[in-house]
């Protein structure tokens, strides 16, 4: 099913207790969050805003081996102070929770995740990044109705050959059409990619740039994938997916991480995310 569609829904993969442990841990992390004003980067998924907010920000580019905070739009004043409680201001936390936080490390390398990797035939899987995504709708000041535009993960995480990136997307609350579940185009993982986000040449006004262009997708081809708390969606690196705005009264917390089959694979030196001496990509199998 996964090879045919490019995604797979596995309901109740994690227990409610495991989900609550992750949510409680992220509350602790946010409570202790101290973000220097010059590092207060707003996260955006629109291409030009991505280039501006993330590309001009070393904070984003060097977040691959750290736990860093990215904020919703409209939650900071021009001096970088929070307009709302900070726990309601965060869009996502990334990109090395899997390496540096004990709770998320345990989930990422849990025996059932490793077993799933083996069932999928992964021989030398390594974890390249992780994120906690809030998709909250809890304050009037933040323009946090953010929709995530149609995209392919391999645009941002490029390998030679393609087909070596796999996303694990864990619903920590029920994900519904109202609060922004994922939508997919089944079978869209078979025709490659048309766009890449790469590191820009030194001296450019942004740190990253897009090469190629995103295809226009037919909205009617997307199917929604609502999933219950504890469910896991496997995401092929080239399958086209998106999420709509959260129009509900409830948040949609998710923990997600990406794995690369490292056997006979090269990681693009042009990717924004690079392994570092401090954090080479850790093996999924422990």
Phi then psi for 257, rounded to 5 degrees? -145, 160
pTM (predicted TM-score): 0.92
Residues 6+ apart with CB under 8 A from 255: 22, 97, 104, 107, 130, 131, 132, 133, 170, 172
| pLDDT tens-place string over residues 84-125 | 888 788 889 999 999 999 999 999 999 999 999 999 999 999
Note the pLDDT of residue 54. 55
- 94, 70 Cβ separation under 8 angstroms: yes
Helix boundaries (H) for 16-169: 16-31, 47-50, 58-61, 97-100, 102-108, 111-119
Q: Kindly state whether residue 22 falls inside one of the protein's structural domains.
A: yes
Q: Kindly state whether residue 79 falls inside one of the protein's structural domains.
A: yes
C-alpha 109/C-alpha 119 separation (Å) is 15
What does the pLDDT average to over 153-160?
98
- Which pLDDT band, with edges at 50, 70 and 90, does 266 fall under? very high
Preceding amide of 95 cis, omega within 30? yes
Beta bridge partners of 151: 241
Domain extent at residue 235: 1-267
C-alpha 127/C-alpha 113 separation (Å) is 12
Q: Kindly state whether residue 286 falls inside one of the protein's structural domains.
A: no
54 CB neighbour count, 10 Å cutoff: 22
Residue 11 sits in a domain whose CATH number is 2.60.120.620
Q: Kindly state whether residue 226 falls inside one of the protein's structural domains.
A: yes
What does the pLDDT average to over 206-214?
90
- 284, 109 Cβ separation under 8 angstroms: yes
Note the pLDDT of residue 155. 97
C-alpha 109/C-alpha 24 separation (Å) is 19
Note the pLDDT of residue 55. 46
What does the pLDDT average to over 221-225?
98
C-alpha 101/C-alpha 66 separation (Å) is 10
Q: Domain tally for the chain? A: 1
C-alpha 137/C-alpha 88 separation (Å) is 8
| Higher-confidence position of 53 and 140 | 53
Helix boundaries (H) for the chain: 2-5, 16-31, 47-50, 58-61, 97-100, 102-108, 111-119
| pLDDT tens-place string over residues 12-54 | 999 999 999 999 999 999 999 877 665 566 677 777 776 665 5
Whether 278 shows a pLDDT value over 50: the answer reads yes
Q: Kindly state whether residue 283 falls inside one of the protein's structural domains.
A: no
Residues 6+ apart with CB under 8 A from 34: none
Note the pLDDT of residue 146. 62
Q: Which of 43, 154, 55 is nearest to 93 (CA)?
A: 43
Q: Kindly state whether residue 281 falls inside one of the protein's structural domains.
A: no
Q: Kindly state whether residue 68 falls inside one of the protein's structural domains.
A: yes
Q: Kindly state whether residue 277 falls inside one of the protein's structural domains.
A: no
């Amino acid at each position: 099913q996964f090879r045919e569609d490019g995604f797979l829904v596995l309901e109740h993969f994690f227990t409610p207790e495991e989900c609550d442990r992750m949510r409680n841990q992220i509350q602790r992390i946010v409570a202790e969050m101290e973000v220097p004003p010059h590092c207060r980067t707003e996260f955006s998924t629109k291409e030009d805003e991505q280039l501006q907010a993330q590309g001009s920000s070393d904070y984003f580019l060097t977040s691959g081996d750290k736990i860093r905070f990215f904020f919703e739009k409209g939650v900071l004043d021009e001096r970088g102070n929070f307009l709302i409680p900070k726990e309601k201001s965060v869009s996502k936390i990334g990109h090395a929770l899997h390496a540096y936080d004990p709770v998320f490390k345990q989930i990422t390398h849990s025996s059932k995740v490793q077993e799933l990797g083996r069932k999928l035939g992964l021989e030398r899987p390594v974890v390249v990044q992780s994120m906690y995504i809030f998709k909250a709708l809890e304050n009037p000041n933040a323009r946090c109705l953010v929709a995530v535009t149609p995209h392919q993960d391999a645009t941002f995480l490029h390998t030679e050959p393609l087909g070596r990136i796999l996303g694990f997307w864990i619903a920590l609350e029920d994900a519904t059409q109202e609060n922004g579940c994922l939508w997919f185009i089944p079978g869209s993982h078979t025709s490659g990619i048309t766009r890449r986000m790469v590191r820009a040449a030194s001296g450019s006004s942004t740190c990253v740039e897009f090469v190629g262009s995103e295809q226009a997708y037919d909205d009617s081809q997307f199917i929604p994938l609502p999933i219950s708390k504890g469910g896991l969606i496997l995401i092929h690196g080239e399958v086209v997916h998106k999420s709509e705005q959260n129009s509900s009264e409830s948040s949609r917390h998710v923990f997600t991480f990406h794995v690369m089959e490292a056997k006979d694979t090269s990681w693009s030196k042009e990717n924004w995310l690079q392994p570092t001496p401090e954090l080479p990509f850790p093996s999924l199998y422990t």
